[in-house]
Chain A
């Protein structure tokens, strides 16, 4: 899923400072799962914003609302009738959601309440980690199912650098060395000899480096 993290209150407060009537818009997809921007977080953020504005002597009217997804037109349409009554939308979706809502409502500012951090997993309750950089050309079959692009701090494709120590990355001891994981995994698969296969210089044109990407499926288009 896409993992996000709510922005600091001060930053959000500064963003909505010009407005007195806003919609705080949650998303029931990824950001609900990672407890950053779902219905529950919409309630918590709205209550905090109301309280802080009240304390500052300038109350704010907040409409709390959550969509099934903010990355599909059909759901974004659900707020069309309420939008004209507000001055701004504070979206708690990922960056894709914020932008897609903005594209649908050009007459109203749409502001981001969360920082979109990565494509990752829930390792434990309250603990998410990155797994994929969406490079557009998956090589997990070559690296024991562990991605060196996402999990090595230098995205090295042919093995660990000289900074790998006790299974940890040179960047800091909180980061597991991705290549240590790959080697361990190849070992447990009985495929350690695969480490010596040279992985050639990568074609990054399928990644963001090729410009903004799109997927077109003619068989599905109407």
Chain B
């Protein structure tokens, strides 16, 4: 084992993993995190904590992870390279590891233009692949980026994101190969609505044997409404929402659309479970954490393994 991560144990044992995420609040109230943690407890194997997602200032990911860890959950520290240089990143990694965090998800992060501080200066001292490489070097070689020894090294299970729906499509498998070569242990993908395209990407992944070198957790997000589906289709860059999904939601009464969204999500997971090389699902129920249990149960993924 590379870490003390529960997620790693579930995946290593060959069982289908389930992760979810928790967005920290825009305030200093730890209770918000605790409530979300309570909802997700025992329902998923690990919980991602987003890092100022969409560039909106929120409670820090490290602090939120610590709160969840204290509750006995296995948090995944999301870390973007937008806001911190290599000094701050390595420092936060040591701090998170010292606080008992076992997992990290390495991301470049949404550009600050999307957030509440669009006039901010971004950092991008490194990109997400260089972050994966840096964390791997810290963990396995016990060295900082400049080569100095770390005593003791942070033992983190290393994740990264993949968006099979972004362009240019032909480098999306090579991009995963690059992340694998850099040392990533697990992948959580962008939300999947276009299953055909995802399967095409997975075929490319299998053709290169990458699914044997990295655990791929397929991302899903339940739709709450037609408005949300349209927003994701038209406003979120790199998101692929086929018209059928929108039509299906439109096809039911307005008050039943959220329920239909959950149903679509469960069906998606059932199809994803059958795809060779998919090791788990990552359920991103955005500000809808209370529905994760229903989705996990509906998809036949409950109870979660005791590892």
Interfacial residues, chain A to chain B (CB-CB below 8 A): 153-168, 170-172, 177, 179-180, 183-184, 192, 195-196, 198-202, 204
Contacts and interface: CB of A to CB of B under 8 A. Distances in A.
A198 to B, nearest CB: 6
Nearest to B238: A162
A204 B166 CA distance: 29
Contact of A195 (B126, B161, B171): B171
A200 B130 contact: yes
A180 B190 CA distance: 19
Interface stretch (B28-36, B177-185, B249-257, B260-268): B177-185
Top 7 A-B pairs ranked by shortest CB distance? A162-B163, A170-B237, A163-B237, A158-B129, A156-B127, A201-B130, A162-B238
Given A153-B111, A183-B168, A165 B238 contact: yes
Given A154-B122, A201-B126, A170 B177 contact: no
Nearest to B126: A201
Contact of B171 (A155, A160, A204): A160
A172 B114 CA distance: 10
B113 A198 contact: no
Given A159-B171, A198-B181, A164 B238 contact: yes
Interface string B140-177: 00000100000000000000011100111011001101
Contact of A164 (B129, B167, B170, B174): B167
Given A158-B129, A161-B166, A198-B181, 9 more contacts: A154-B111, A158-B130, A159-B127, A160-B175, A163-B238, A170-B114, A183-B170, A198-B129, A204-B125
A125 B122 CA distance: 31
Interface of A is mostly: loop
B124 interface: yes
A204 B85 CA distance: 11
A170 B162 CA distance: 16
B293 interface: no
B110 interface: yes
A167 to B, nearest CB: 6
Interface in B164-220: 166-168, 170-171, 174-175, 177-178, 181-182, 190
Interface of B: 82, 86, 108-111, 113-114, 122, 124-130, 133-134, 145, 161-163, 166-168, 170-171, 174-175, 177-178, 181-182, 190, 237-238
B200 to A, nearest CB: 17
A163 B54 CA distance: 12
Nearest to A161: B108
A192 B170 CA distance: 10
Given A163-B166, A165-B238, A195-B171, A154 B82 contact: yes
B238 A170 contact: yes
B133 A201 contact: yes
Contacts of B133: 198, 200-201
11 contacts: A153-B111, A154-B82, A154-B127, A155-B127, A158-B178, A159-B127, A162-B237, A170-B110, A171-B111, A180-B167, A192-B170
Contacts of B175: 159-160
Given A158-B130, A158-B178, A163-B110, A201 B167 contact: no
Contacts of B161: 162
A47 B14 CA distance: 78
B113 A171 contact: yes
A177 B178 contact: no
Interface centre among B113, B166, B238 (most CB of A within 10 A): B166
A157 B127 contact: yes
Given A163-B237, A196-B174, A180 B113 contact: no
A172 B134 CA distance: 30
Contacts of A160: 166-168, 171, 175
Contacts of B82: 154
A159 B167 CA distance: 11
Contact of B178 (A163, A180, A196, A204): A196
A159 B170 CA distance: 12
A201 B110 contact: no
A180 B175 CA distance: 13
Nearest to A199: B130
A153 B114 CA distance: 13
Contacts of A202: 125-126
B1 to A, nearest CB: 26
A164 B166 contact: yes
A167 B167 contact: yes
Contacts of B171: 159-160, 183, 192, 195
A110 to B, nearest CB: 27
A156 B124 contact: yes
A161 B172 CA distance: 10
A165 B233 CA distance: 12
Nearest to B127: A156
